[in-house]
Amino acid sequence: MTPPKIDRTRRAEIGAEKRSRTRAALLDAARELFGKEGGGSTRIEELCEAAAIARGTFYNYFTSMDVLQAELFEDLTMRFDQAVHVAFEDLHTPAERTCAAIRYYLHHAVSDRQWGWGMVNTGMGIGLFRNAVSQRVIESIQEGIDAKDFSISTAEVGRDILLGAGLAAAITLLNGQAEIGHIEEVAVGVLQSLGVSASQARQLVEQPIKQLG
């Protein structure tokens, strides 16, 4: 019995579905491997083995490991950033939002260690943080400078302080080298570095932050 013919449109759909599944398998494997301590040294061979694909297939989807890391980092940050920005609707000043952002990021890194290590390993592997994240932070710091919340010389200096401190603190916490209270102390230090007074920084850190949706 002759099998039924598949028309070109359906054949293309089947091919697209297969490519989509393979790409998802690669990202799932990357999420697991980069989401571990030491995951930043993950090799393409390990990734392909975890995704059950041949090494050559990897290059049909990503031109390099850096490109895959960048996409994984974007995936890790996107949904979390969206939830944080919804929470920002209840906050009125750049200083409040900056303080909350630091605390949300570090608390989430501790509560979801796979996410935390994934952020550390992919962020470091592609030059600390991607341009999209870096630009959002610059805009937020500049807003604080314009509103006189911050007295830091430039938004770029503020970005480097905030992102550098956040990354270092995440590693410290994930390695178990500090207790959870370290998060609030880091937030106070970053705010003071941006030009917020010690008393105001402490006041901001003591404010409760609502649960993310």
Domain annotation for the chain: domains and CATH numbers: 8-206 (1.10.357.10)
Q: What pLDDT is stored for residue 200 in this prediction?
A: 96
Where helices occur in the chain by DSSP H, the ranges are: 8-34, 44-51, 55-58, 65-87, 94-111, 113-125, 131-146, 155-174, 182-194, 198-206
pLDDT in tens, 48-64: 999 999 999 999 999 99
Q: What pLDDT is stored for residue 9 in this prediction?
A: 73
pLDDT truncated to tens, each residue of the chain (213 aa)? Answer: 555 556 777 666 665 677 888 999 999 999 999 999 989 889 999 999 999 999 999 999 999 988 898 888 888 888 787 788 788 888 889 999 999 999 999 999 999 999 999 999 987 655 455 566 778 889 999 999 999 999 999 999 999 999 899 999 999 999 999 999 999 999 999 999 999 999 999 999 999 887 776
Angle at 24 between CA 23 and CA 30, to 5 degrees: 95
Nearest one of 4, 3, 56, 51 to 25, comparing CA atoms = 51
Q: In whole angstroms, what is the distance from residue 134 CA to residue 123 CA?
A: 11
Task: Please give the span between the terminal C-alpha atoms of the chain, in angstroms, as a whole number.
Answer: 55
Q: What pLDDT is stored for residue 180 in this prediction?
A: 95
Q: What pLDDT is stored for residue 21 in this prediction?
A: 87
Return the CA Rg of the chain: 21
